[in-house]
């Protein structure tokens, strides 16, 4: 799923893959709204082809209309005006923030931590055409609460700051460990709990490498001394697995997890990805495939 899910299209009835009726619905995206929607409609699934949520059931449209009316009643009808006035009175002065008639535009260097911080702001959405994050005036108070962390992370990710940190790490144990970690990544292997293995050939989220596809499990138990340096959480009942980077097709065909990731799943080292994690992975996969296509045609 990509960021175009923000379009608020007219709901319609469509045929599902098994022949039953489903309502195709969409609404302006923000993380908290999606969470409330999935709590209300746990059987709903996102369709990349239709750019809409598919809600099963003959009464799906009526149920969605009631839910949407309840969501709209939550909104302050003067929130946009209040946010615009508040910004005019107490503006955020930053090279990473600009304003247009639709609200705020945030343009920063990339980091996963920064993306997670911006997504804490209600109704923040990625504008792929202009390569900026957009936040409506109505969310100004929340943006102000998160801005210090957003700006600090953006400054940390500037190329010059990255270069300074790399220079400071030269010759240190931290750099040697980073080199070993990079070499391990090139081997495309991963530690897995022997009694709780992930499914093969299906994208899963991992602590070590983000979303990957586990392509093989050797069954070879890991010697603690072999992996303790890079995998401090392993024990004697972990085995080696092989992984590959998922294709865009792999990610599009993957249904997101129905619930938020539990702490025990993260301690296990792998879990089924949430819709937010899949969205990031799909965007990265699209970029990889575009780069590959350009290199081939060049």
Sole residue written with tokens 């304003």? 99
Partnered with residue 14 across adjacent β-strands are: 22
End-to-end Cα distance, the chain? 29
The size of the chain, in residues, is 298
Query: pTM, whole model, 2 decimals?
Result: 0.54
pLDDT in tens, the chain (298 residues): 333 344 555 667 776 555 567 888 887 767 778 888 988 999 888 887 777 888 988 888 888 888 887 776 666 767 888 889 999 998 999 999 999 988 999 999 998 889 889 988 888 888 878 889 999 998 899 999 999 999 999 999 999 998 998 888 888 887 887 788 788 888 898 888 888 999 999 999 998 889 999 999 987 787 766 666 667 666 668 888 999 999 999 999 998 888 888 988 988 889 999 988 898 899 889 888 888 888 887 6
23 in Cβ contact with 61 (< 8 Å): yes
* Farthest-apart Cα atoms in the chain, separation: 65
Cα 155 to Cα 168: distance, rounded to the nearest angstrom: 17
Q: What pLDDT does 8 receive?
A: 58
39-63 per-residue burial string, b: 16 or more CB within 10 A, e: under 16: eebeebbbbbeebbbbbebeebbee
Sheet holding 203-206, edge to edge: 189-193, 238-244, 210-221, 203-206, 270-271
Q: What pLDDT does 98 receive?
A: 95
Q: What pLDDT does 6 receive?
A: 44
Q: What pLDDT does 95 receive?
A: 95
Pick the closest to residue 106 from 159, 147, 156 (CA basis): 147
């Amino acid at each position: 799923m990509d960021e175009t899910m923000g379009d608020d299209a007219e709901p319609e009835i469509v045929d599902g893959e098994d022949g039953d009726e489903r309502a195709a619905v969409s609404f302006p995206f923000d993380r908290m709204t999606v969470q409330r929607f999935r709590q209300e409609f746990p059987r709903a699934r996102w369709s990349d082809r239709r750019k809409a949520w598919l809600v099963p059931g003959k009464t799906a449209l009526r149920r969605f209309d009631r839910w949407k009316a309840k969501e709209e009643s939550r909104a302050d009808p003067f929130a946009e005006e209040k946010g615009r006035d508040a910004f005019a009175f107490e503006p955020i002065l930053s090279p990473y923030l600009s304003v247009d008639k639709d609200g705020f535009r945030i343009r920063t260097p990339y980091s996963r931590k920064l993306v997670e911080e911006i997504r804490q702001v209600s109704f923040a959405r990625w504008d792929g055409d202009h390569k900026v994050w957009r936040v409506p005036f109505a969310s100004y108070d929340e943006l102000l609460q998160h801005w210090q962390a957003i700006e600090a992370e953006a400054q940390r990710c500037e190329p010059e700051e990255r270069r300074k940190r790399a220079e400071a790490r030269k010759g240190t144990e931290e750099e040697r460990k980073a080199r070993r970690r990079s070499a391990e990544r090139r081997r495309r292997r991963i530690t897995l709990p022997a009694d709780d293995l992930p499914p093969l050939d299906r994208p899963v989220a991992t602590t070590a490498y983000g979303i990957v596809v586990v392509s093989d499990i050797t069954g070879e138990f890991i010697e603690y001394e072999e992996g303790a340096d890079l995998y401090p959480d392993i024990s004697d009942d972990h085995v080696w697995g092989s992984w590959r980077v998922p294709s865009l097709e792999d990610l599009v065909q993957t249904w997101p997890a129905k619930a938020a990731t539990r702490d025990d799943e993260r301690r296990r080292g792998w879990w089924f990805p949430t819709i937010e994690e899949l969205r990031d992975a799909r965007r990265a996969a699209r970029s990889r495939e575009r780069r590959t296509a350009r290199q081939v045609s060049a």
